[in-house]
Amino acid sequence: MKHNNHDGFTLVEMAMVLILFGLISSTVMVGLSLYLSDRTQSRTIEAMKKSKTAVFLFQVDQRHYPCPADPTLGPGDAGYGVADCTGANIITMMGRDTGNDDGNGDPCDANGDVPILIGALPFATMQDPDGNINTNDAPYEEFVTAHSMDGWGSKLTYAVTRDLTDYPGAPSFDHEAGGICIIDENNVNLLDIAGTAHAVIVSHGENAKGSFSETGGYIDDCVDLAVPGEATAMITLPFDERENCDHEEASVESISTFMVGVRNNVQADYNDDYVKFIVSNVSSIWTYTDVIFNDNGTPGDPTDDFQINQVANTNGGNIGLGVDEPKEQLHLQGDIQADEMHVEGLCDSSGADCMPPEVIAGEVADMKCPAGQVVTTIEQNKVTCINPFPASAFTPCPPGEFMTGISNVSGPICTTP
C-alpha cells in the first residue's frame, strides 16, 4: 500500500505561528512606541532648555526680557516669531498680589495685580534683537527656530512679567519685580519667595491642550466635563490642565499660576505639561544697595542710557568664586566680566601691597612717563620709564658704511658694503 506524503502545516501549527507572530509584532510595536515617545520627550526637553537659556541671555544682553509673540501667526506671516507687547492676541493676566489684600499672606491666592503677558516664544526677536538681519547679534547662537516648538509640533507657550519687558511705560528693570506664581501638584509654592518668577516656558504635552500649531492654529482647548464638587468658575477645566491652561479662563481667573509636577487629586489625572521658569538667582548673601545710570558714551542722549544694579556682600565670612577655601571676603580665581566694577584696591592675600584704582587707571603722575620715554615695569604704584633709544641711536654711520638696523642699546648698526 502506498501512502501520499504532503508537506504543509496543520491547523494547530498555523495557530501557533500566528500567535508567535502576534507576540513578536506586539513587542516590536511597543518598543517602537516607547522609542518614539522617548525621542519626542527628549526633543521637547532640549527645546525648552535651549529656549530658557536664550530668554535669560537675551535679558542679560538687552537688559529686559522679550515680550511674547503672537501665537496665531505662522511662517510667511508678517510678525511671525516677533515680540509683540501690545498685540490683540497677547493674553494679559495678573500674577501675584503685591499687597496680599486677601488677608491670608499668600500673594498667589487671589486678587493679583502684577500684569503677566502670555503668548508664543518670540524666537525671531531673540535671534535678531535689533531687527537687522545683516548683523550676527543673537545672544545665544545655539538657539534656533525649531527650539520654539515642542516634540509634538506645538508652539511653546511663553509668559513673562510685563514690567520686566520693554512694554510701553514699563519701569526700569528690577530683578525683584517678577510676579509669576509657580506651584506643584499639591498647590505648594516652589519659589523661595512666592510669586516672583520672571518668565515661564510651557510645553502643553502630548494632548496639546491650550497650545497653537506652527501655522498658528489653535490645536485644542482645555474645556472638559464638569468636575463634581468644584467651584462653578472652574468646572470647565480638568485636574490635569488646571493651571497651565488657565489663560483660557481669563474672564474668571483672578490670578495666573503655573504648575510644575504631577497632579493626582481625586481622579487619576496627570499633568503632561513640561514647565521651565526663570527666577532671580540673587543669594541672601548679596543685597542690592543702589542703582546707577550709565550714559553709554552719549551724555546728552538719555534714550540709550542703561541702569547698573549695585550689590554688596552681606556675608559675615569669605566668599570664593572658583576657589574652595576663600582667603578674603571676596576671593576670585579666574576671569571676571562686568559692565562696570568699583573697588577700593587690589591687594595681595595678606591685605598689603595694595594698588589703588586710580593707579590702575593711570590717573596719577607716577603712572605716566615723560614725553619721549616708555614704560618698562610697574611696581610700588608707579612706572619705571626709560628712553627707548640712547642718544647714540641718532648718530650717523661712519663714512663708507650704511645703516642696516637700530639697537636700543648701542644705537645704529652699521655695515661695510
> Who contacts 326 (Cβ-Cβ below 8 Å, separation ≥6)?
318, 319, 320
Q: What angle do CA 165, 117, 65 make, to 5 degrees?
A: 25
> Who contacts 266 (Cβ-Cβ below 8 Å, separation ≥6)?
229, 239
Beta bridge partners of 171: none
> How confident is the model at residue 290, as a pLDDT?
67
> What is the distance, to the nearest Å, from the Cα of residue 120 to the centroid of all Cα atoms in its chain?
16
- Separation of alpha carbons 309 and 321, rounded Å: 20
Q: Beta strands 197-203 and 157-161: pairing type?
A: antiparallel
Q: Which helix (H) or strand (E) holds 127?
A: helix 123-127
What tens-digit pLDDT sequence spans the chain (417 residues)?
A: 555 555 666 777 777 777 777 777 666 665 656 555 678 888 999 999 999 999 998 998 888 999 999 999 999 999 999 999 999 999 999 988 887 655 667 888 777 889 999 999 999 999 888 776 655 566 677 899 999 999 999 999 999 999 999 999 999 888 888 999 998 877 888 888 889 999 999 999 888 888 999 999 988 777 654 444 444 444 455 656 767 876 666 555 667 888 887 655 455 456 788 999 999 865 566 666 666 777 777 778 877 776 666 777 776 677 888 787 887 777 888 777 776 666 777 777 666 778 887 777 777 888 888 888 888 888 888 888 888 776 666 778 888 888 888 777 777 888 887
Alpha helices in 272-364 (DSSP H): 357-360
Q: Beta strands 330-332 and 374-379: pairing type?
A: unpaired
Q: What is the pLDDT of residues 174-223, one digit of tens each?
A: 888 899 999 887 788 888 888 999 999 999 988 888 899 999 998 877 76
DSSP symbols for 14-69: HHHHHHHHHHHHHHHHHHHHHHHHHHHHHHHHHHHHHHHHHHHHHHHHHSSBPPPB
pTM greater than 0.85: no
CB of 198 closer than 8 Å to CB of 180: yes
Joined grid coordinates for residue 56 = 535669560
What are the E-state strand segments in 84-222? 91-94, 115-120, 157-161, 181-183, 197-203
Q: Which amino acid is at 409?
A: V
Q: Measured in Å, how far apart are the chain's first and last C-alpha atoms? A: 125
Q: What is the pLDDT of residues 45-68, one digit of tens each?
A: 999 999 999 999 899 888 899 999
What are the E-state strand segments in 98-226? 115-120, 157-161, 181-183, 197-203
Q: Which helix (H) or strand (E) holds 12?
A: helix 11-62
